[in-house]
Structure 1
Amino acid sequence: MTDCGCEKAKAELEEYLHNELCAEDAADIREHLESCTDCSTEHLIGRTLTDVVQRACKETAPEDLRDMVLQKLRAVQSTH
């Protein structure tokens, strides 16, 4: 393994976050993140955003809110 450098780490960060890299590339980026504060901060931000989006996708709106939104959508559609 060799430190891949900031350019490669930042270019492949999204794939790294989603475990879409081959083992060798992932290991190179992991090694780089251990020694680079800038890239590890960017990784933390990406990880946090990914976690928040994943949690939000699992949540559902309350039934009364869904009904209210659908009712308003139908009202708007009926006037067009």
Structure 2
Amino acid sequence: MTDCGCEKAKAELEEYLHNELCREDAADVREHLASCADCSSEHLVGRTLTEVMQRACKESAPEDLRDMVLLKLRAIQSAH
């Protein structure tokens, strides 16, 4: 692997945060983050924001609603 540089690391950071890069590109970004304080800091901010948003968006449907939806889906599936 070769160090990908700040420009490439920052351009691919969003995809890296969401595990959307191919193995080689992810390894390049990971290697760069290990040796670049600036990009590593930006990665930490992105990772923190991503985690906060994921926690904030975790909503569970009320159990009654889930039961109704599952019953409806089963009824539709059995009709086909």
TM-score when scaled to structure 1? 0.73
Deviations 1:28-69 (A, max 9, x none): 000000000000000000000000000000147xxxxxxxxx
Q: How many residues align?
A: 60
Partner amino acid, structure 2, of 1:37: A
Q: How does 1:34-73 map to 2 (within 5 A)?
A: 34-59=34-59
Aligned counterpart, 2:23: 23
Aligned CA RMSD, in angstroms, stands at 0.9
**What is the TM-score with the length of structure 2 in the denominator?**
0.73
The one-letter code sitting in structure 2 at the alignment partner of 1:13 is L
Structure 2 residues not aligned, in runs of 5+? 61-80
| Aligned partner of residue 58 in structure 1, secondary structure | coil
> After TM superposition, what 4+ stretches of structure 1 lie above 6 angstroms from structure 2?
none
